[in-house]
Structure 1
Amino acid sequence: MTTPLRPADAPETLPPVSATSAASAAVPARGSRLRISARSAPYVLLLPFLALFLIFGLFPLGFSLYLAFQSWEPTSGLGAMSFVGWDNFRFALSDEWFWKSMWNTLWLAVAGGVPQHLVAIPLACFIHAGFKRWRNIVLGAYFVPYITSTVAVAIVFTLLYSTEYGLINAVLRGLAKWPLIGALMPAQAIDWINDPEHLKPAIAVLVFWRFVGFNIVLYLAGLQAIPRDLYEAATIDGAGPLQQFFHITLPGLKPMILFGVTLSVVGGLQLFEEPFILTPDGRGGSDQAGMTAAVYLYRTAFDFNDFGAASAMSWLLFIAVGALTWAIHRGIGRGLR
């Protein structure tokens, strides 16, 4: 008599395998075919950015350098390009309007940029020390002009600068009634936009108002990075607020000052939107007093259809920006070592 097999001793039996299940077992899952190695994953993820940067960054830059040595009118097509060598650079360096636009740009960069930092540093210190709970609200109020649309800002300032109904001329007429101040006030309303002598100061005020809040944010961030122990030790040693400002605050803000001044120089030399929108003709106003280098580049390319000369001027402007940035780093950056 045979002994029945226990379940453990019973032979293993496999379930029947169909053709469909066998085929699915032989083919790997779809997700496994899309897997990438850990070494190549960063490069694959960077491909969208690299493609956009190549198309909209490097290609325009290289094409601009190529155009600087060509004579080209875009309405004639790409086949109308002709190599002219350094003629576009010679034309730019001998063009009186180009040098006038460079002078206007430098004037506006200094007049609108330097006061920003002279005002932003004390304001940042005041906000840092005087506002604890409401600091973000006050800082946001100063930062609003930076994020406001340039067109909206230019329209508001056009109304402020109006000769007949502008608020600025109304304030000046009110101050003229005071005995001592009236002698210093102009006899008639100032035409801020159409008068070449007052157009550049009007643009500089607009630039100052727009970007001073941005610099306040920068310097407030720098103030928060300065250790409080330094101020406490200085207070124990008997140093007053003014001494602490010059011996602790300013040295601690030097890296941020270098960064902020560099941004102001680069942005000031590329000034385009404010004079383009504020001037009535959009080309620099009367006597080209508000024509910056960027505005003149635009006019050379789209008004005069000379893209080769415009490209050459843009590279000359790039050299000027690089030279001034290097000078700033040599002047301010030397004190950081």
Structure 2
Amino acid sequence: MNVMSRPPVMAPPPVPVSAPRSRRKSELLRSLPLYLSVAPFFVLFAIFGLFPLAFSLYLSFQKWDGIGPMRFVGWNQFAYLLTDSYFWQAIVNTLEIWLLATFPMICISVVLAFLLSSPLVKARGLYQIAFFLPHITSIVAIALVFGSLFSNQFGLLNALLTALGLGRVAWLSQPWGMKCAIAAMILWRTIGYHALIFLAGIQSIPSTLYEAARIDGAGSRQIFLSITLPLLRPVMLFTVITSTISGMQVFTEPQVLLGNDGGPGREGMTIVLYLYQQAFGSYHFGYGAAIGWGLFVLIALFSLLNWLLFQRS
């Protein structure tokens, strides 16, 4: 057959370029209701979360009283922050209050959760509600109640000490008295909440481990120390980190109990209270923003330190 007589080979028809674009457009139209349903969260987060965060970082490099024009000062406010004795005193006060509140809180919460997980406990739901109520109670109301408890002259604690033949204690005038009063408020508000978190962690532990331990003759104390505590390490890490973050941001308790100056000698002055005093008391908004970012660095360092310690243990 002659080669020239063969029928020509037909090339495949070209694919329209607009087909992928139309497909993407149709997929976008189908997904549009889903994007619109989650859009309010991201819009509100951008307005009330990202914008204040970015503006505070910008403001930390400015000197501004809230009314007049801003003046760029660079790193001067951060340099002054490192030499500010009041700031370092606020850090020490915050750490002392955190230590007084966190470690007793963790110990008591774990014990309460272990006792609440016992099958002998009846009306467990009622106990859970009672434990959670202090956490959702107004902090201002709690501070007012504890102010009447720790009052120097007419406090209920001093009335009890007097009835027992002991001397009065100036709770709201002595350095450790003020810190103990603030730590007591934090304890009362957070013990029940963390006890419920530990209870959830205990309930996630397989019951076969407890049954095997009881068959081997282990008592409640051995079960608690050898099974419950080691398996609660992830929950305890979460609790320590969250309590560190919240403990570094203590504000309402000392502000209502002791005032904006942190009490006599500034012994109750925390970092956030010092930030509030500088920004909204002295109208040093730029320096207040610098204090906020210094607090952010401290929280990040302590959270990392807690994580490393728990990983090593």
When normalised by structure 1's length, the TM-score is 0.82
* 2:239 equivalent to 1:266: no
Equivalence for 1:156: 145
Asked if residue 254 in structure 1 is aligned to residue 254 in structure 2, the reply is no
Q: Quick check: 2:260–2:277 contact (8 Å CA) kept in 1?
A: no
Letter in 2 for 1:63: F
Matched residue SS, 1:129: coil
Per-residue CA shift, 1:160-209, capped at 9, x if unaligned? 11233322112222333xxxxxxxx5xx3112113334111111111111
Match of 1:283? 261
User: Residue 319 of structure 1 aligns with which residue?
Assistant: 297
Contact kept? 1:146, 1:213, Cα under 8 Å: yes
Q: In the alignment, what sits opposite 1:241? A: 220
Contact 1:69-1:83 at 8 Å conserved across structures: yes
TM-score (norm 2): 0.88
The equivalent of 1:123 in structure 2 is 112
CA 1:38/1:251 → structure 2, altered by over 3 Å: closer, same or farther? farther
Instruction: Work out the CA distance in 2 between the residues paired with 1:131 and 1:284.
Output: 46
Q: Quick check: 39-48 or 265-274, which moved more?
A: 39-48
How far 1:157 sits from its partner (Å)?
0.8
Instruction: State the SS of the aligned residue for 2:194.
Output: helix
Instruction: State percent identity of aligned pairs.
Output: 40
Q: What is aligned with 1:140?
A: 129
Aligned equivalents of 1:48, 1:131: Cα separation in 2: 47
**Take 1:44 and 1:164, find their aligned partners in 2: how far apart are those partners?**
59
2: CA distance between counterparts of 1:192 and 1:299? 23
Q: How far, CA to CA, are the matches of 1:172 and 1:113 in structure 2?
A: 26
- SS of the aligned residue for 1:91 comes to helix
Distance 2:30 2:224 in 1: 51
1:106 maps to 95
Q: Is the 8 A contact 2:178 2:267 kept in 1?
A: yes
**How far apart are the structure 1 equivalents of 2:231 and 2:272?**
35
Asked if 1:90 corresponds to 2:79, the answer is yes
In structure 2, what residue type is equivalent to 1:47? A
2:48 maps to amino acid: F
Equivalence for 1:331: 309
| Structure with larger Rg | 1
Unaligned runs of 5+ in 2: 1-26
Cα root mean square deviation, aligned: 1.6
Q: State how far apart, in whole Å, the 1-side matches of 2:93 and 2:247 are.
A: 10
Where 2:125 maps in the other structure, the secondary structure is helix
Unpaired runs of 5+ residues, structure 1, are 1-34, 177-184
Aligned to 1:202: 181
Aligned 8 A contact 2:261 2:277 in 1: yes
* Contact 2:152/2:158 (<8 A) preserved: yes
Secondary structure of the structure 1 residue equivalent to 2:67: helix
Query: C-alpha separation between the residues in 2 aligned to 1:132 and 1:65?
Result: 51
Q: Does 1:64 align with 2:56?
A: yes
Conserved? CA contact 1:91–1:309, under 8 Å = no
1:184-199 pair list within 5 angstroms? 185=166, 188-199=167-178
* Structure 1 residue 132 displacement after superposition: 3.9
What secondary structure, in the 3-state scheme, does the structure 2 residue paired with 1:40 have? Answer: helix
Distance 1:214 1:333 in 2: 24
2:218 is paired with a residue whose SS is coil
SS of equivalent to 1:189: coil
CA separation of 1:131 and 1:285: change in aligned 2, threshold 3 A: farther
The alignment of Structure 1 onto Structure 2 pairs a total of residues equal to: 287
In 1, the alpha carbon distance for the partners of 2:108 and 2:174 equals: 28
Structure 2 SS opposite 1:194 = coil
